Amino acid sequence: MNILKYSEKHSAFREKFRAFVKKEILPNAEKWEQDHMVPKQAWKKMGQEGFLCPCVQPEYGGPGLDFLYTVIIIEEMARTRQTGLISYLHSDIIVPYIESFGSEWQKKKYLPGCVSGDIITAVGMTEPGAGSDLASISTIAVEEEGHVIINGSKTFISNGINCDLLIIAVKDPLIENPHKAISLYLVEDKTPGFKKGGKLEKMGMHSQDTAELFFTNCRIPVENLLGEKGVGFVMLMKKLQQERLTCSIMALNKAEYVLEWTIEYCKNTQVSGRPLSSSQSVQFAFAEMATEARMSRLFVENLIADHMEKKDIVIETSMAKYQTSDMANRFANRCLDIIGSYAMDEQCPLVRELRDLKVMPIFAGTNEIMKGIIAKSMKL
């Protein structure tokens, strides 16, 4: 059953991107993991080859392609064994805020660099005391003589070290309603009062530079307001559908990759003179996982088609984000159990996948938040 209709151009793009991954990403994945950082030059190469921001329109330096090109990039990146060059975060989660809500001068100033890789973006929402509950943020912004003064801090910010441009969520301390007090602003790297902390040591996603960000009387022009003042919460909510859909695509493909790798390993590993895959219990485990993965793929691909038709699928993407990220973690755990002693070896690809997958039920809204959204839609 083929829900998504890929053209010859899509297929040619996939082959081109696979060649790029083989040449530019796979040989460097181990070093990036050890360095806990992807060099900016790697981002620039992605941009030079046309693999960043595929949906940005030509008038802003982009190729103006459809969402299936994003799907192709995510699917191929899921198999690279690194998470630092996680381009969909930049291309399909952060940059769309500028596309949708930015002023004309903001789009012309920043989007071409986002496409070329000269500008790496990050979004600052999470704080030491505020995660999924965005209304609880405490970073404040106050207008003063044509400028905005920002004070506060953010944490667990992906691309935090590499970012050249940050979209930051702040609160107006004079507005009591927390949902109407939030605004989004653009902050450039090296702005006085904006300081980047060190790279955070994480359980997984080692090549992803994740940092704390600090703002001490950080002064930016009022023109750096993204969209309208006081509607930041609404703007963030409007973009959650695509964010959670891209997370679901990544989680689904990670789960499929984990299963495929384990099947191949078991076919080529002998136990008592027989392939490990000849064991009925192993075969049944693979059959169960393959069935769940196939059903999940059909659901996610249907959501992709609906999203491309601009349908409201907020509830369904919440379901997909929760289910696929949970599935990917279960697959990694189960497959590690199946392969036995090799699971203790740091060189085993599944070890890294397990560590990297642990955060997927947490970001883009925790899976508990997803369940709450689903339950509310059921009028419970």
Question: Residue 325: what are its φ and ψ, rounded to 5°?
Answer: -70, -35
pLDDT at 96: 97
pLDDT at 220: 97
Are the C-beta atoms of 164 and 189 separated by less than 8 Å? yes
Q: CA 366 to CA 136: how far, in whole Å?
A: 16
Q: CA 256 to CA 317: how far, in whole Å?
A: 19
Q: CA 61 to CA 118: how far, in whole Å?
A: 12
**Angle in degrees, CA 363, 198, 357, rounded to 5:** 30
Query: What b/e sequence results for 342-355 when a residue is b if at least 16 CB atoms lie within 10 Å of its CB, and e otherwise?
Result: eeeeeebebbbbbb
**Angle in degrees, CA 98, 102, 103, rounded to 5:** 150
Q: CA 242 to CA 363: how far, in whole Å?
A: 14
CATH number of 239-377: 1.20.140.10
Are the C-beta atoms of 213 and 157 separated by less than 8 Å? yes
Residue appearing with tokens 């970073």: 139
pLDDT at 176: 87
Q: CA 313 to CA 319: how far, in whole Å?
A: 10
| Residue-by-residue DSSP string for 243-284 | HHHHHHHHHHHHHHHHHHHHHHHHHT-EETTEEGGGSHHHHH
Decide: residue 64, CB within 10 A, 0-12 exposed, 13-18 middle, 19+ buried.
exposed
Domain 123-230 = CATH 3.40.50.450 = no
Using DSSP's 3-state secondary structure scheme, residue 113 falls into: helix
Is 243 one of the annotated active-site residues of the chain?
Answer: yes
Are the C-beta atoms of 61 and 116 separated by less than 8 Å? yes
Measure CA of the first residue to CA of the last residue in the chain; give whole Å: 34
Instruction: Determine the residue type at 175.
Output: I
Q: Interhelix angle for 314-339 vs 349-357, to 10°?
A: 150
pLDDT at 2: 79
| Residue-by-residue DSSP string for 127-143 | BTTBSS-GGG---EEEE
Digits of tens for pLDDT over the chain (380 positions)? 679 999 999 999 999 999 999 999 999 999 999 999 999 999 999 999 999 999 999 999 999 999 999 999 999 999 999 999 989 999 999 999 999 999 999 999 999 999 999 999 999 999 988 777 788 899 999 999 889 999 999 999 999 999 999 999 999 998 989 889 999 999 999 999 999 998 899 999 999 999 999 999 999 999 999 999 999 999 998 999 999 999 999 999 999 999 999 999 999 998 888 999 999 999 999 999 999 999 999 999 999 999 999 999 999 999 999 999 999 999 999 999 999 888 888 889 999 999 999 999 998 889 999 999 999 999 99
Active-site hit among 127, 243, 256, 316: 243
Domain 8-119 = CATH 1.10.540.10 = yes
pLDDT at 8: 97
| Residue-by-residue DSSP string for 274-318 | EEGGGSHHHHHHHHHHHHHHHHHHHHHHHHHHHHHTT---HHHHH
pLDDT at 304: 98
Nearest to 243 by CA among 360, 109, 102: 360
Instruction: Determine the residue type at 128.
Output: P
**Angle in degrees, CA 366, 368, 372, rounded to 5:** 120
The domain ranges of the chain are 8-119, 123-230, 239-377
pLDDT at 346: 87
